[in-house]
Amino acid sequence: MTSPTKGIQNEHWTEIIEPKTSVFDLKLKDVWRYRDLLMLLVRRDFVATYKQTILGPIWFFLQPILTTITYVIIFANIAQISTDGLPPVLFYLAGTTMWNYFSECLNRTATVFKDNAAVFGKVYFPRLVMPLSIVLSNLVKLGIQMILFIAFWIFYLTKSGSNIHPNSTIALLPALILLMGGLGLGFGMIISALTTKYRDLVFLLTFGIQLLMYATPVIYPLSKIGPKYKWLILSNPMTSIIETFRYSFLGSGTFSWAYLGYSAAFTLVVLAFGTVIFNKVEKSFMDTV
């Protein structure tokens, strides 16, 4: 006769509830096991956002077009800010396409605990799945906006006198997208962990992201920044990402392996720190949300 203790030891459980786990136990294996849920959440985010809108996914095209037109009128025509000899439409569209992906990842990840408190309180799944689904679902939006950028890029590329010189660093595009997603995810998880106790940070988030955009060469080229402030702009890890993107497709911009390496190292540190903080807070956030 098999003893009850031995029978329990031989059983295989899908979930094990433990009294304490290390803050560095990120349970990445659980995230992989719940990859089907991750894909379902990605689909839900994409469908739910535009399901009840009149234009639907067309907004993905309209948003960067309207933003670019505004920048062209205000910054290129009225303020006369240089675009390094590039067509203003293409210059601003390149910056907004990349910036939109980063800001969307950061904005939505930063409120993931507050937005999904009802779900988190009812069913178990690795909480890290939720912010990851946000980053992945925004890739769909980025892909659509990249199609728009490529369309304008091809138009100006075939137009004489457009001063566009693409080069082999275009191959770095997947790495640039990965860095932006990592930065948005890392910063978003840190802010999300803080907003469970300090709700005021939610009100500062939109304003802070807007200020950060002006500290990034989205509406101006890095080459026009004087040495007094250039180091400050370069300390922003998004600077080298956007400058590399412009350099790759347009042939104008600042490209440096050192600057890009700094952005990569910064992303890894923020992502690791954000994941650890997120993992720590998700165990007790229901008590404060």
Write out pLDDT tens, residues 90-127. Answer: 999 999 999 999 999 998 888 887 777 667 666 777 77
Write out pLDDT tens, residues 61-94. Answer: 888 889 999 999 999 899 888 888 889 999 999 9
Q: What is the pLDDT of residue 158?
A: 87
Whole-model pTM? 0.83
Write out pLDDT tens, residues 256-282. Answer: 999 999 999 999 999 999 888 888 777
- Choose among 159, 188, 171, 180: nearest CA to 263: 180
Rounded to whole angstroms, how far apart are CA atoms 91 and 99?
A: 13
Rounded to whole angstroms, how far apart are CA atoms 253 and 223?
A: 7
Strongest mean pLDDT among 161-165, 204-208, 214-218: 214-218
Q: What is the pLDDT of residue 90?
A: 93
Write out pLDDT tens, residues 90-99. Answer: 999 999 999 9
Between 85 and 47, name the one with better pLDDT.
85
pLDDT bin (cut points 50, 70, 90) of residue 241 is very high
Q: What is the pLDDT of residue 277?
A: 86
Whether pLDDT at 5 is above 60 = no
For the residues 28-45, what does the mean pLDDT come to? 78
Q: What is the pLDDT of residue 179?
A: 96
Strand, helix or coil for residue 173? helix
pLDDT bin (cut points 50, 70, 90) of residue 176 is very high
| b/e code 137-156 from CB counts within 10 Å (16+ = b) | bbbbbbeebbebbeebbeeb
Strand, helix or coil for residue 110? coil
pLDDT above 90: percentage of residues in the chain: 37
Whether pLDDT at 251 is above 70 = yes
Rounded to whole angstroms, how far apart are CA atoms 193 and 187?
A: 10
Q: What is the pLDDT of residue 216?
A: 92
Give one DSSP letter per residue of 176-196, joined into a string: HHHHHHHHHHHHHHHHHHHHT
